[in-house]
Structure 1
Amino acid sequence: MEQRAKAVVCREINAPVTVEEIIVEPPRYGEVMIKLAACGVCHSDLSATNGTIPFPPPVVLGHEGAGRIVAVGDGVSDYKVGDHVVSSFVSMCGKCRYCQTGRPQLCDQAAKAAISLPDGTVRTRDLAGNRLNVFSGCGVMAEYATLHIDNVVKVDQQMPLDKAALIGCGVMTGYGAAVNTAKVDAGSVAVIFGCGGVGLNAIQGCAISGARMIVAVDTSDAKLEAAREFGATHVINSAAEENPVKAIIRLTEGGADYAFECVGLGEIAAQAYGVLRKGGTAVVVGVANQKDMTSIRTATLTFGEKTLTGSYFGSARPREDFPRLIGLYRTHRLKLDELISRTYTIDEAPQAFADMQAGRNMARGVILFE
């Protein structure tokens, strides 16, 4: 049956988000309805409100959610009412070339589910009956959401759902950039530019991989202090350095084996590439504006055998990686509790977005629904 639910909606670009009551339709074939327990307030949600990610409004925000299944549609055999699930903002069909070769984060179906379910329809409308798009097939910044099973991952019921939600984007994106994309070697030197939610998890990924030196770079001393808690061995405030690249090369005695851009700026991506030693790899993780550009000296690719690459969703294989991350958390190797800077009610969502934009949350604000 239909559910009325409070949801966080972007009605207009560069305007505050609204909290409104919407209608969530029951699941159809291959779909499930989730009662959300928690949803992280991710910078990508903010990017949808300012046009950096071009999702046409009105759109129900949220892609980093966790909750319980309350209804299943026809054709669903692997999920049942009561299962705990985490949303995956990349739809994974399991059939395309990318899914079949172990790269489901690049699934062809995901582009079709950017603002809808994979079939192009949505299960959300406002009280006037108008369609509401959904962020990356999810729209989980709401009390209820109906998702295709290709956008959900079942998780252990003993896992706290407010912590599990974070795995759905920020943790997977940062940790995966280090472990899956770069494949950081033990004993290596890594530099992370940007110490927000994603950057802190890139630091965790490097630490778990055994990097001997992890340099955190940011303009905020408070974020740099948090970076130490998550595994950084050294910190640099780039605002205090006339030339951050030279400062990092001096500190690392010749440059880094790996560098991660977790800000979303072409200028920072160039800095990440610039701090590499020969044979190094720079990974662009942040989501830049569509018009942003990065400039590097082309010859250095050849003579230094350097690599500049991207990482989307931490090169995730969600049904493999999400349980692995939960295992790391439960064995006290992965920090999740410490990522939650502040919790909010759904009615406080506009404040959560304002806090994020102002940099008041060191890592993650989380909306709790129960």
Structure 2
Amino acid sequence: MVHEVRGVVAKAKGQPVSIETVLVPDPGPGEALVRVQACGVCHTDLHYREGGINDEFPFLLGHEAAGTVEAVGEGVTEVAPGDYVILNWRAVCGQCRACLRGRPWYCFNTHNAGQKMTLADGTELSPALGIGAFAEKTLVAAGQCTKVDPQADPAAAGLLGCGVMAGIGAAINTGGVTRGDSVAVIGCGGVGDAAIAGARLAGAARIIAVDVDDRKLEWARGFGATHTVNSAETDPVEAIRELTGGFGADVVIEAVGRPETYEQAFYARDLAGTVVLVGVPTPEMRIELPLLEVFGRGGALKSSWYGDCLPSRDFPMLIDLYRQGRLDLDAFVTEKIGLDDVEAAFDKMHSGDVLRSVVIL
């Protein structure tokens, strides 16, 4: 059986998205059919539309999603029809060298559904991050479904599928923030604010938010920032040092993905401190640092892949914290919209008017 659904498709580089009829096949071996309930509008979706990921157009956009499993294919045991799930884009294989060394969050062989969703004329679609959830139903690998508490609001829960998990994980999993640490976060969009929330969850004593927009800095305070720095008005490196006794922060999280902000992060950390890059750079970007400084400051320079998360471990835990009132996922949801409003949501993202627009299906 083939399911006809409405979906948001990017047909060509830089062109506005359109609503198209998408044909979704029944799940085959190892696959799951998911009825999408909500999906966040992430900057990665805009990267796809702009050709910043690859040129495998047309793309079925959307990937920060929660929904209900409708059907599963042969051999699927992880989930069953009726399960409420968050979708993830790292279905671990269990067999690669990272998995076999007990580090599945670094899985080098993550996988997606084998069958293709198509347009009505048979044109194969490339689903964003192997998910394609700006649609009423989508087909994924069963390992991309993580079962969580069904009482969690899908608009909030789905955000763990990408940006919020990336930020929280950058602080807790990659950065190793712990009780009493000082933390600076450069860039206070959705991922940066999630890193702030993660630092607060981990017990950081001082959390310094850095951005050029006072409105975003005010949002950052709501997620747990104890201090804010407008880097359009103040040297952020000097400000972070001043707020940390002249030493620099124990952990600095760069959530912008630009050479100049990465350099700020490098010099704003304490000796033996950690820099975490979670902002996504573009291919042409380069950075130059004195090698003696890299050596002399010690510590660690890390990149955070998806918050170094293991969805089966982290999603249920974070949903439990949300249900307990200890993690305010609702605060990330700026507006709830329909499928027809995705293009307008991209415009709001550009202007910095939203943390997350969330499509409700």
1:252 to 237, 244, 249: 244
Query: Which residue matches 1:71?
Result: 71
CA deviation vs aligned residue, 1:61-90 (integer Å, no higher than 9, x gap): 111111001111111123211111111112
State the shift of 1:288 in Å.
Answer: 0.7
Query: Which residue matches 2:32?
Result: 32
TM-score (norm 2): 0.96
Q: Which moved more, 1:72-81 or 1:172-181?
A: 72-81
Query: Which residue matches 1:213?
Result: 206
The answer to whether the Cα contact below 8 Å between 1:91 and 1:137 also exists between their aligned partners in 2 is no
Q: Which amino acid aligns with 1:364?
A: R
Query: Which residue matches 2:150?
Result: 157
Structure 1 segment 314-333 matched on structure 2, within 5 A: 314-333=307-326
2:118 to 125, 136, 148: 125
Q: Within 1, Cα distance between the matches of 2:323 and 2:344?
A: 31
Query: Which residue matches 1:233?
Result: 226
Query: Which residue matches 2:94?
Result: 94
Query: Which residue matches 2:17?
Result: 17
The answer to whether the Cα contact below 8 Å between 2:26 and 2:33 also exists between their aligned partners in 1 is yes
The answer to whether the Cα contact below 8 Å between 1:276 and 1:306 also exists between their aligned partners in 2 is no
* Residues 1:175 and 2:160 are matched in the alignment: no
The answer to whether the Cα contact below 8 Å between 2:11 and 2:17 also exists between their aligned partners in 1 is yes
2:136 to 120, 129, 143: 143
**Matched residue of 2:14: which SS?**
coil
Q: Within 1, Cα distance between the matches of 2:107 and 2:128?
A: 17
The answer to whether the Cα contact below 8 Å between 2:98 and 2:108 also exists between their aligned partners in 1 is yes
Of all paired residues, the percent bearing the same amino acid is 39
Q: Within 2, Cα distance between the matches of 1:357 and 1:3?
A: 34
CA deviation vs aligned residue, 1:186-216 (integer Å, no higher than 9, x gap): 1111100111111111001111111111000
* Residues 1:274 and 2:267 are matched in the alignment: yes
Query: Which residue matches 1:306?
Result: 299
Q: Which amino acid aligns with 2:358?
A: V
Q: Which amino acid aligns with 1:332?
A: G
Q: 1:358 to 1:103 in 2, by over 3 A?
A: farther
* Residues 1:283 and 2:283 are matched in the alignment: no
Query: Which residue matches 1:356?
Result: 349
Q: Within 1, Cα distance between the matches of 2:61 and 2:101?
A: 30
State the shift of 1:157 in Å.
Answer: 1.7
Q: Within 2, Cα distance between the matches of 1:61 and 1:103?
A: 29
Q: Within 2, Cα distance between the matches of 1:248 and 1:28?
A: 53
Q: Within 2, Cα distance between the matches of 1:300 and 1:44?
A: 33
State the shift of 1:271 in Å.
Answer: 1.0
Q: 1:169 to 1:102 in 2, by over 3 A?
A: farther
Query: Which residue matches 1:45?
Result: 45
Query: Which residue matches 1:344?
Result: 337
Query: Which residue matches 1:195?
Result: 188
TM-score (norm 1): 0.94
Q: 1:105 to 1:60 in 2, by over 3 A?
A: farther
Runs (5+) with no aligned partner, structure 2: none
Q: 1:102 to 1:359 in 2, by over 3 A?
A: farther
Q: Which moved more, 1:100-109 or 1:278-287?
A: 100-109
The answer to whether the Cα contact below 8 Å between 2:78 and 2:143 also exists between their aligned partners in 1 is no
1:294 to 287, 290, 298: 287
Query: Which residue matches 1:2?
Result: 2
| Count of aligned pairs | 360
* Residues 1:264 and 2:257 are matched in the alignment: yes
**Matched residue of 2:109: which SS?**
helix
**Matched residue of 1:277: which SS?**
strand
Q: Which amino acid aligns with 2:4?
A: R
State the shift of 1:118 in Å.
Answer: 5.3
State the shift of 1:55 in Å.
Answer: 4.9
Query: Which residue matches 1:84?
Result: 84
Q: Within 2, Cα distance between the matches of 1:83 and 1:18?
A: 30
